[in-house]
Amino acid sequence: MSTQATEEAPDAYEALLDHYEQLSNVNAASGILQWDQEVMMPEGGTPARSKQKSALSELSHDLLTDDQVGEWLDELDELEDADLDGEQAAVVREIRRQYERADRVPGELVAEISETTSEALPKWKQAKEEDDFSVFAPVLEDLVELKREYAEHIDPDKPAYEVLFADYEPYLDLDTAERVLERLREELVPLIEDVRASDVELADPFDGEFDVDTQEELARDVLDTLGYDFEHGRIDTAPHPFSTGNQFDARVTTRFSEDDPVDALMSTIHEFGHARYTLGLPREQYGNPLGESRDLTVHESQSRLWENHVGRSRVFWEKFLPAMQARFPQLEDATPEAAYEAANEVYEDNLIRVEADELTYHMHIIVRFEIERELIEGDLDVEDVPERWNDKYEEYLGIRPDNDAEGCLQDIHWSHGSFGYFPTYSLGSVLAAQIYDALEADVGDVDEKVRNGNFDVIADWLEEHVHRHGARYTTPELVEEATGEPYNADHFVDYVTEKYTDLYDL
């Protein structure tokens, strides 16, 4: 039953819902403008776009912090618990959390941050293209200062980075993130060392050039195979792949390289996972928190489950390699086992996070986490970022970038002002393994389902146990609801240890 249709709901609750739906639509419109800027907007459109997005951000902030919202929430606080059912109480909890944070931040600051991020995007693109960090550094410094000010308004008694992290994961605290990242560092570093010391050389049938237009056709093939709903989505290219939208319109982007078709394929599957989660949210709850996703750890778990546990599996390559061979005849002699090995190779010298293997990927995340926390807490000057970045890559991955384009300029997130975002990538990967094990315990051998092309079993289970709940539960509650146990890293550690021990004959 739709929360909006509940007759017994108090008047204040219904008024709050109506108001929040207006806010939700403003935010959705802003998201489309962001998508357009990253995918289709002419390069010269930035001055107008930054003003447009700033206006919408300020309007969104004004709607959320309207005095009437506070009054409705106060009125609902005074009601007995029995006056709101579980779903209604969850809606009030989520709106209250957003309201209390936003109400502490001046609208002018919100508008300034939005305008600055719009201006930062083309500067980041230019800096990356020209391999010149100094092009991006001034606007990055502005964003660091603005986000410190933002955090100070929300909670002056907490470290600024902790406050910013809660924007992306409000229910798993920073201590949890640090514990998980430390566990991954302890478990994965020796595993990576063992892999690199192994004499096993994995096959790679994907040597040569692969036409980009044909790769785009292949990306559509894999989306069709997995069950992507093109009536409610589309695929485009972007410098940094992403997914955005709502349960009626969930779009994906990817990027292509002539010498690495597997990278584009995995990127497409990853963004499919995000979009499938979004499309699985209840349509009747559009415009309220019950129709919104549960923050970034859960979102990332869905993309990493599809990318790694499905897309990088042996059985997936048994299923999908013939489609790839049909598009690229030069692969006619490739075997599913060789393709599987190529998709799971642990790289000796990869500098790019989005092209990283499952093991070294998390070292990339740890580098970013440590650097951006130092930036926000004032322990690192912006001008010193490239050197610190390169030093940490040498320390954690044994490689050093030759330039900033493949170093500190490779990711788009800082141009969005998204400080505190990166830990959720590893948190989500960990959760993906936990959810996958619960899925398999419930539906039986998932490999057999993939081998038979029965991807709907996976998608339907995820929709039933994760997607349909929207933001009904907090992250720990949703994890327990879906898996029957608290959030933990055990499943992930077991999964990668078993997988790479087998691959590299450790």
Distance CA 243, CA 252 (A): 4
Distance CA 86, CA 69 (A): 20
For residue 329, the tally of other CB atoms under 10 A from its CB is 7
Helix/strand/coil for 95: helix
Token pair of 318, please?
């048994």
Q: Whose CA is closest to 467, among 231, 311, 284, 298?
A: 298
CB-based burial label for 395 (10 Å; 0-12, 13-18, 19+):
exposed
Residue carrying structure tokens 């779903």:
87
378: alpha, beta or left? (left if phi > 0; alpha if psi -120 to 50): left
Q: Whose CA is closest to 245, among 35, 487, 468?
A: 35
Per-residue buried b or exposed e for 130-146, using 16+ beta carbons within 10 Å of the residue's own CB: eeebebbbebbebbbeb
Q: Whose CA is closest to 226, among 455, 66, 23?
A: 455
Q: Whose CA is closest to 417, among 144, 202, 154?
A: 144
Catalytic residue from among 271, 300, 307, 463: 271
Token pair of 438, please?
């619960």
Quick check: 497 and 491 in contact, CB under 8 A? Answer: no
Distance CA 367, CA 364 (A): 5
Reported for 311-314, long-range contacts at CB under 8 A and 24+ positions apart, including other chains, are 311/265, 311/266, 311/269, 311/270, 311/343, 312/266, 312/340, 312/343, 312/344, 312/358, 313/340, 313/447, 313/450, 314/340, 314/447
Told to judge if 186 belongs to the known catalytic residues of this protein, a careful annotator would answer: no
Those residues whose C-beta lies under 8 Å from the C-beta of residue 319, and which sit 6 or more positions away, are: 225, 450, 451, 453
- Residue 295 amino acid letter: D
Which residue numbers are catalytic?
Answer: 271
